[in-house]
Amino acid sequence: MRRLQRGTWRKRRAAALLALALGIAVVLTLGTGWLPARSIAATVPQGENVLRLAISGLRGELARYERLPELMATEQLLADALDPEAPGATIAGANLYLRHVNAMMGLSDSYIMRLDGMTVAASNFDQPLSFIGQRFDYRPYFSDAVAGGQGRFFALGTTSAKRGYYFGAPVRNRGRIVGALALKVDVDAIEDSWRAAEYEIIVTDDEGIVFLASRRDWQFRALAPLSDEARARVAATRRYDAAPLEPLPLERVGQVGAHRLMQLDLPEGRREFVVVAEAMPEAGWTVQVLLDTAPARRQAVIAVVLALLALALGAAGVAAVAQRRARLRERLQMQQEAQSQLEGRVAERTAELAALNTRLEAEVAERRATEAELRRTQRHLVQSAKLAALGQMSAALSHELNQPLGAVRNFAANALTYLQRGRQAEASENITRILGLADRMTEIGRTLRNFARKPNAQLSDVDLHEVVRDAMEVIAWRLGDRPVRIETDLPPGPLMVRAGPVRFQQVIVNLISNALDALEGREDGLIRLAVRKTPERIVLRVSDNGPGVPAGLEERIFDPFFSTKGVGSGLGLGLSISFNIIKDFGGELRVMNDGGAVFEVELARPSAQQEVA
Ligand code: ADP
């Protein structure tokens, strides 16, 4: 899965790189071929404009002087001056006339020649390089004029070494051509208006020689090397005088539309031009505008650079997006791994927990089994305790009852023997003893009956004084001549409590009887009965100065069949029965040690209404 993804990713990257390379190739191809050609072509209209302007400027300049030679040639003074016999004053007049018109019309020079080409009068008659005395019969404008036509010629002045456009016209005297008038127009001013950074303007003659040029160093240079015939033709008219007519270092390097693309090796460096040209047949010229292609090429280069930059930016953007996606994918993968790890851990933990759970369940089952076992054991124990209690009770009962029964049998046999022998006194003593034993057995029986008490028996308001008094009567027989004092310290007046009178008396008898047991063998035995009152409760306190309840047995002495007295002496039922009786009364029986044993019976007092009633 991961390898597959990586494969597609690699393919995509290759495709992107291929697209980028293709883009660069396209940009470079277009940027070096089509685009420069297009932007150069876009400059052609500008060149055509310049060309139109230049041509109309030239035409305007020539048109200004077109009619002037014929007009001036009609001046009689000039015809007169051409007469070989003309007096000096006439010549001087012609000179002045020519100078006047020359200055007025802004001409470079104006002069008249005789038929042999000799100059007789000139506007520059008073200048150091005057034309007077010079022959210009080799110039076409002269030969054209003396032939009766219009002379038109541009050339470098042989005397002034200044370029000019020459107009020629015949001078007639009485209808006969007597000489020629020539005007020279300066062309420097036209050139000056052509200077601009983006283009160059040249005007060439029909031999391909640059005559006018926006660059001075191009003047009198040939566009192509001149043939010997051409050189001879040029020399015949001395058009360019002694100029060497070196060819320009020009090379045709291409074509943009209908226009030539030329390259020039100039002193300042190589320049390339697109050439826009138009012929001016009336002057025998070709006007050419050379547009520098450098700005257009620069533009193309800038466009290419911009396009490359855009491509680079696009590629960078795509790379960034791809990288981001790759990072995202990586992060996702990591997350997935982490999740699967987590899931693995969770599964592990779950398995552990499940194992723990089964272990716990097993433990719980074991516990339950143990508990059930325990319960069973407990039930067994209770059963055995019951059996033990039964055994203990039957042992005590048989002991308690067998002994007196045996004694009764003995005393009865003795009494019978005494009666048979007529010994009345001994017989009655034995019978008395029998009665005593019968009483004891009755006592035992009553104790057992009380054990099966009826807890729901009715309660009533009983006076504590009465209950204590009755109890003292019951216990009196046990006192006999024992050295035990019983102190009853009861406050006067009725001490009413809620109780059952007979059962309450039984409790007090039990407590006193236990105290008597505890004081067995003591000479100064003392049993005290005292009462403490609170608004709701009455507490009867029975204390003795015996050994007290052994420590740790305070709770157990209230258990049924618990006794520290040997078999035959106590059933261990007295306190248990008493405790339950007091509980039935809604009171409390508790034990503490204070010198000897102290038992407290706390009972509720009847409510005020009940007390009055
Ligand atoms: P019995 O008197 O038959 O033993 P009881 O339930 O009346 O049964 O008394 C339980 C035990 O409480 C006695 O065996 C004795 O150890 C202890 N006992 C009860 N009264 C006193 C007392 N006044 N002084 C010391 N021990 C006492």
pTM score, whole prediction: 0.48
Smallest CA separation from ligand 1 atom 7, residue: 574
In the chain, which residues have pLDDT < 50? 609-613
Residues 6+ apart with CB under 8 A from 318: 16
pLDDT digits (tens, 9 = 90+) for 17-33: 898 899 888 888 887 77
- Tell me if 515 CB under 6 Å of ligand 1: yes
Q: How far is the CA of 252 from the centre of ligand 1 (A)?
A: 151
Question: Which residues, 6+ apart, have CB-to-CB distance to 606 below 8 Å?
Answer: 461, 496, 497, 498
CA–centroid distance, 557 to ligand 1, in Å, is: 7
To test the pocket of ligand 1, the residue of 517, 556, 592 to mutate (highest count of ligand atoms within 8 Å of its CB) is 517
Q: How far is ligand 1, taken at its centre, from the CA of residue 548, in Å?
A: 9
Give CATH for domain 455-608. 3.30.565.10
Q: Whose CA is nearest to atom 12 of ligand 1?
A: 557
Distance 597 CA to ligand 1 centre (A): 10
Is 107 close to ligand 1, i.e. is its CB under 6 Å away? no
- How far apart are the CA of 563 and the centre of ligand 1, in A? 6
The single-letter code of the amino acid at 189 is: A
The pLDDT assigned to 396 comes to: 57
CA-nearest of 524, 509, 484 to 577 is 509
Closest-CA residue, ligand 1 atom 8, reads 572
Asked if 261 contacts 236 with a C-beta cutoff of 8 angstroms, the reply is no
Distance CA 48, CA 289 (A): 8
State the Rg of the chain over Cα.
82
Rounded percentage of the chain residues whose pLDDT exceeds 70: 92
Question: Measured from the CB, is residue 44 less than 6 Å from ligand 1?
Answer: no
Please name the residue that has the structure tokens 């046990």: 478
Q: Which atom of ligand 1 is nearest to the CA of 558?
A: 6
The whole-number pLDDT of residue 502 equals 79
Mutational pocket test of ligand 1: of 565, 567, 575, the residue with most ligand atoms within 8 Å of the beta carbon: 575
CATH topology of domain 189-296: Beta-Lactamase (3.30.450)
Local structure of 173: helix, strand or coil: strand
Residue 400 Cβ contacting ligand 1 at under 6 Å: no
570 close to ligand 1 (CB < 6 Angstrom):
yes
Tell me the CA distances in angstroms from 46 to 72, 199, 289, one per residue in order. Answer: 41, 10, 10
564 lines ligand 1 (CB under 6 A): yes
Burial tier of 96 (Cβ tally within 10 Å: 0-12, 13-18, 19+): middle
Residue ID of nearest Cα to ligand 1 atom 27: 549
518 lines ligand 1 (CB under 6 A): yes
The closest-lying atom of ligand 1 relative to the alpha carbon of residue 546 is: 24
Instruction: Say how many Å lie between the CA of residue 78 and the centre of ligand 1.
Output: 190
Distance from residue 381's CA to the centre of ligand 1 (Å): 26
Domain boundaries, the chain: 62-185, 189-296, 373-453, 455-608
pLDDT of residue 240: 84
Of 484, 486, 508, 557, best ligand 1 pocket probe by most atoms within 8 Å of the beta carbon: 557
Give the pLDDT score at 331: 94
Q: Is the beta carbon of 511 within 6 A of some atom in ligand 1? A: no
Q: Which of 514, 558, 569, 599 to mutate to test the pocket of ligand 1 (most atoms within 8 A of CB)?
A: 514
CATH topology identical between 62-185 and 189-296: yes
Q: What is the DSSP string of 555-611?
A: TGGGSTT--SSPTTT--S-HHHHHHHHHHHTT-EEEEEEESEEEEEEEEEPPPHHHH
Distance from the alpha carbon of residue 549 to the mean position of ligand 1, in angstroms: 8
Distance 552 CA to ligand 1 centre (A): 14
> What CATH number has the domain spanning 62-185?
3.30.450.20
Q: How many alpha carbons fall within 13 Å on the CB side of residue 576?
A: 17
Q: Ligand 1 atom 26: the closest Cα is on which residue?
A: 549
Report how far apart, in Å, the C-alpha atoms of 66 and of each of 15, 63, 72, 96, 252 are.
74, 5, 11, 22, 37
CA 514 / ligand 1 centre spacing (Å): 5
CB of 36 closer than 6 A to ligand 1? no
pLDDT of residue 611: 44
> With contact defined as beta carbons under 8 Å apart, do 581 and 453 qualify?
yes
Q: How many other CB atoms are there within 10 angstroms of residue 189's CB atom? A: 10
pLDDT value of position 397: 67
